Amino acid sequence: MSGTGLLLMGLAGAWTALAALSYTVGADVWYRGLGCGVIREGPGAGGQLALTFDDGPDPVWTARIASALEAFGARGTFFVLASGARRHPAVVRRLLEGGHEVALHGYDHRPLWLTGPRESCRRLFEAVAVLESILDGQRPRFFRPPWGHFNLAAARCARELGLRLVLWSHAPPDWRARTPAGELARHLREALRPGAIVDLHDAGPGDRPLVLAEVLPEALQLGRSRGLRFVTLSQLLHDDGGAAPRRARPIRQGEATHT
């Protein structure tokens, strides 16, 4: 092969690599790093904050966590996986009947970095359709991708579907295996501040949500004693379905990248 041919092949390879980096890493820099078009916290006025829960619905833990919230007059936002919602539609309806909000975490927990543009959009559209069918035509308002990682296609398609992109201001380590109850309780106490969007999990391998279920009532009681109100994301953001997202602060060193 001639030198020109090798050069062209090298340029093509470099262009392909650059496009792949832009699609994945570039999207994360834009949305996670710079916080452009992503919600990570709400207004600080009013003493309100939002507890959000990823990875459900779980037939055991989702209902238990929802009941704990309701015992303190609190409401949460549950970012569900459509594949799980399809298996457990009654759990999703129970959330709505309890005054909680149902949002979208994805069709399943496959990272968007491993999903091409066409497949990313197809799975998002299918996930929204699944939730609409369970919730009598009601469409979720918010989308948080698995692990908090974006790609360009999914972000664009989410906006086309009217979904607002959400991450978090605090992510207590309930997703880690064997997190001690005292450590999780401490992280929850630190997260209790007006405007916070707290990322938690109502599902996981084995009985991983057990520790959260044990320490959540204490956090709810503490929040209430501080005059805080636990509300849904829509309530926290005064969301009418059309407001522009706040520009989020950049992600800080050491903050979790799991969910």
Q: Which CATH number goes with the domain that contains 131? A: 3.20.20.370
Please give the pLDDT value at position 253: 33
Please give the pLDDT value at position 2: 59
> Within a domain: residue 30?
no
Contact 135, 101 (CB under 8 A): no
The pTM (predicted TM-score) of the whole model is: 0.85
Grouping H, G, I as helix, E, B as strand and the rest as coil, residue 98 is coil
Give the N- to C-terminal CA distance of the chain in Å, as an integer. Answer: 48
- Burial of 47 from C-beta contacts in 10 A (0-12 / 13-18 / 19+): middle
Q: What single string gives the DSSP state of each residue in 28-67?
A: HIIIIIS-TTEE----SGGGEEEEEEES---TTHHHHHHH
Query: What gap in Å lies between CA 201 and CA 132, rounded to an integer?
Result: 22
Spell out the residues 6+ positions from residue 229 whose beta carbon is closer than 8 angstroms to its own. Answer: 46, 47, 48, 49, 74
Domain hosting 80: range is 38-237
> Within a domain: residue 21?
no
Strand-pairing partners, residue 181, are none
> Within a domain: residue 67?
yes
Please give the pLDDT value at position 90: 98
Contact 78, 95 (CB under 8 A): yes
Query: What gap in Å lies between CA 99 and CA 35, rounded to an integer?
Result: 29
Spell out the residues 6+ positions from residue 59 whose beta carbon is closer than 8 angstroms to its own. Answer: 88, 91
> Within a domain: residue 42?
yes
Contact 100, 232 (CB under 8 A): yes
**Structure tokens, 2:** 């001639």
Q: What does R_g of the chain's alpha carbons equal in angstroms?
A: 19
pLDDT in tens, the chain (259 residues): 555 544 434 434 333 433 445 567 777 777 777 788 999 999 988 999 999 999 999 999 999 999 999 999 999 999 999 999 999 999 999 999 999 999 999 999 998 878 899 999 999 999 999 999 999 999 999 999 998 989 999 999 999 999 999 999 999 999 988 899 999 999 999 999 999 999 999 998 888 999 999 999 999 999 999 999 999 999 999 986 543 333 333 333 334 444 5
Query: What gap in Å lies between CA 54 and CA 257, rounded to an integer?
Result: 13
> Within a domain: residue 125?
yes
Q: What single string gives the DSSP state of each residue in 105-134?
A: EESSS--GGGS-HHHHHHHHHHHHHHHHHH
In total, how many domains does the chain have? 1
Please give the pLDDT value at position 9: 47
Residues identified as active-site: 54, 201
- CA nearest to 164, candidates 25, 62, 258, 31: 31
> Within a domain: residue 208?
yes
> Within a domain: residue 245?
no
Buried/exposed 159-194: b ≥16 CB within 10 Å, e otherwise: eebebbbbbbbbbbebbeeebeeeebbebbeebbbb
